[in-house]
């Protein structure tokens, strides 16, 4: 049996997974009634716990110490968590090259496991992170091989497909899977994640504001003070809009067009003006994403008001669309800064 690639991090029980109550409750119910589906599609943004939940489901099903829950400490649990148990296997897409699972890998590694498992436990779980990348609709060879396996379910073998973009999977694959939805994580859960990762509290606010409810993104934005740096850059733009002449704005735009993290700066500026609009509408400090900038937020709220702040949010949103279409960043920014200036 080829070794599973352990691409999941730490001890995890279903009960450890926070902020996903409906999904976890559905899985616990299935375990308790012995109705675990033959194939699941865990659908939701990356970094919200889909893979942890998939491994935790396998662990709960196989743990002999605490059946239906998992203990995280016995020999079976330890092997699962180390990626060494033949009945709980994680198949990540290839990092390099075509990015899909090669059909040879499917034939040599995955299908035989599906055919002969479970090897040691009562059940087996085959987990596919980024299933839309492993089995993309436009490379139907691997997808069709998987489909064939899903169409001939073997008892006690469970497939768990994880995807942030399930619309990129074949409809025929999706329809074979029971869908479990994973949502964005609330701020309190993200604080817990950052705290556990040893991130200084001073970094939490900007990291969570930019996180889009995803733990992976919150951690990336906290790293090296990225979020705070982005906020500084965004506030420079805001200050230039208040005071700058059109000439100075074009100078700023030339500088910004070279910034590698421009989309993130724009996102942070959008968050700032959303807070300005909220503050102008009477939202209290605790309702702001950037609560520690409350003074500046409320000063701007008095100056420009909710309507102009939300007009700026709209202009910035259009900029994001233009970037996505690969518009010339310099020209796009010139237009944007002058347009923002008009709504000030």
Q: Binders of Zn ion among 62-101, rule CB under 5 A?
A: 63, 65, 71, 74, 77
Q: How far apart are CA 104 and CA 112, in angstroms?
A: 12
Structure tokens at 79: 């092997």
Please say which residue, 71 or 327, places its beta carbon nearer to Zn ion. 71
DSSP 8-state code for residue 186: P
Instruction: Label the pairing between strands 39-43 and 178-181.
Output: parallel
The minimum distance between CB 62 and Zn ion, in angstroms, equals 8
DSSP, collapsed to helix, strand or coil, labels residue 270 as helix
The minimum distance between CB 75 and Zn ion, in angstroms, equals 8
Residue 242 within binding range of Zn ion, rule CB under 5 A: no
Please say which residue, 74 or 170, places its beta carbon nearer to Zn ion. 74
Please say which residue, 49 or 121, places its beta carbon nearer to Zn ion. 121
Q: 103 near 95, Cβ under 8 Å?
A: no
- Total residues at the site for Zn ion (CB under 5 A)? 5
Sign of the CA dihedral with 114 first, then 120, 121, and 122 last: positive
The minimum distance between CB 305 and Zn ion, in angstroms, equals 58
The minimum distance between CB 61 and Zn ion, in angstroms, equals 11
DSSP 8-state code for residue 153: P
Please say which residue, 49 or 58, places its beta carbon nearer to Zn ion. 58
The minimum distance between CB 36 and Zn ion, in angstroms, equals 17
The minimum distance between CB 31 and Zn ion, in angstroms, equals 14
Please say which residue, 71 or 170, places its beta carbon nearer to Zn ion. 71
Q: How far apart are CA 245 and CA 233, in angstroms?
A: 18
**Residue 211 to residues 202, 222, 264, Cα–Cα distance (Å):** 15, 10, 11
Q: Binders of Zn ion among 27-66, rule CB under 5 A?
A: 63, 65
Q: How far is CA 9 from the centre of its chain?
A: 15
Please say which residue, 69 or 274, places its beta carbon nearer to Zn ion. 69
DSSP 8-state code for residue 289: T
- Name the site residues for Zn ion (rule: CB under 5 A): 63, 65, 71, 74, 77
């Amino acid at each position: 049996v080829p070794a599973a690639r352990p691409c999941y991090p730490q001890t995890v029980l279903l009960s450890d997974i926070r902020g996903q109550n409906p999904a976890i409750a559905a899985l616990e119910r299935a375990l308790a009634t012995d109705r675990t589906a033959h194939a699941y599609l865990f659908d939701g943004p990356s970094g919200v716990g889909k893979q942890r939940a998939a491994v935790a489901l396998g662990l709960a099903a196989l743990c002999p110490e605490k059946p239906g829950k998992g203990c995280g400490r016995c020999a079976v649990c330890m092997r699962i968590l180390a990626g060494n148990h033949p009945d709980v296997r994680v198949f990540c897409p290839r990092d390099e090259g075509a990015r899909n699972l090669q059909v040879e890998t499917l034939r040599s590694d995955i299908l035989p496991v599906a055919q002969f498992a479970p090897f040691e436990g009562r059940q087996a779980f085959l987990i596919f992170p980024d299933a839309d990348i492993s089995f993309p609709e436009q490379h139907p060879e691997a997808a069709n091989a998987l489909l064939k396996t899903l169409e001939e379910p073997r008892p006690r073998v469970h497939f768990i497909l994880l995807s942030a973009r399930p619309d990129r999977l074949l409809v025929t694959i999706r329809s074979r899977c029971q869908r479990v939805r994973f949502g964005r994580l609330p701020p309190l859960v993200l604080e817990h994640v950052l705290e556990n990762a040893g991130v200084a509290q001073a970094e939490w606010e900007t990291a969570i504001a930019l996180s889009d409810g995803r733990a992976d993104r919150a951690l990336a934005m906290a790293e090296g003070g990225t979020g705070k740096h982005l906020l500084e850059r965004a506030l420079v733009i805001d200050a230039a809009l208040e005071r700058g002449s059109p000439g100075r704005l074009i100078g700023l735009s030339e500088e910004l067009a070279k910034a590698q993290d421009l989309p993130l700066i724009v996102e942070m500026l959008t968050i700032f003006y959303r807070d300005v609009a909220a503050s102008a509408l009477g939202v209290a400090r605790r309702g702001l994403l950037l609560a520690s900038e409350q003074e500046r937020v409320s000063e701007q709220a008095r100056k420009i008001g909710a309507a102009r702040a939300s007009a700026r949010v709209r202009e910035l949103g259009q900029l994001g669309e233009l970037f996505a279409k690969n518009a010339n960043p310099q020209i796009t920014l010139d237009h944007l800064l002058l347009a923002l200036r008009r709504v000030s």
